[in-house]
Amino acid sequence: MRDPEDTLRQHDLPVTAQRVSVLRAVSHHPHATADMLAEEVRAELGSISRQSVYNVLNVLTDKGIIRRIQPAESAALYEDRIGDNHHHLVCRTCGKTEDVCCAVGEAPCLTAQSHHGFKIDEAEVIYWGTCPACQKKKR
């Protein structure tokens, strides 16, 4: 991602230390929870309130600067990569999350026959399975 400050300005968001730092944290740690990001920001800024982390993440998500994914049984995760229609692979055992390129064609997933009169704007795909490490452990 480009410079955090530029990104904020481009979206008409006042630049604050907290926002810059959260944005950087998301960039460096894809698939992190709000809590993990808060830790990260604290390491950089010294401190940040829990509320601010949520504020910032919500604003950024609303503006489409970052993406929120929320697998079952886990807190929301945030990531940088947007617009490239990739999906996620989540380990049922340890929760580890990986990116996956879209399995079928390019924007295949939005092709749900526009059912029930809904106006669909996004398709979220989560592949559930077991990661290599956990496969080993189980045996």
Partner DNA sequence: AGGAGTTTTTGACAAAGTCCAAATCTCGGC
Partner DNA sequence: GCCGAGATTTGGACTTTGTCAAAAACTCCT
User: Is-contact 56 99, C-beta < 8 A?
Assistant: no
Placement of tokens 């106006």 in the chain? 119
Q: Residue 106 has what DSSP assignment?
A: S
**What minimum distance in Å lies between the beta carbon of 126 and DNA?**
15
Q: How many CB atoms lie within 10 A of CB 11?
A: 13
11 binds, among a copy of itself, DNA, none (CB under 5 to 8 A by kind): none
Written as six digits, the tokens of 69 are 């994914």
Of residues 81 through 120, those in contact with DNA by CB under 7 A are none
> Sign of the C-alpha dihedral, residues 42, 45, 49, 55?
negative
**What minimum distance in Å lies between the beta carbon of 91 and DNA?**
16
Q: Is 13 in the site for DNA (CB under 7 A)?
A: yes
95: left (phi over 0), alpha (psi -120 to 50) or beta: left
Of residues 38 through 67, those in contact with DNA by CB under 7 A are 47-52, 54-56, 58-59
Contacts of 95 (CB under 8 A, 6+ apart): 71, 73, 74
What is the per-residue binding string for a copy of itself in 84-103, x denoting contact by CB under 8 A?
---x-x-xx-----x-xx-x
**What minimum distance in Å lies between the beta carbon of 80 and DNA?**
17
Q: Is 1 in the site for a copy of itself (CB under 8 A)?
A: no
58 binds, among DNA, a copy of itself, none (CB under 5 to 8 A by kind): DNA
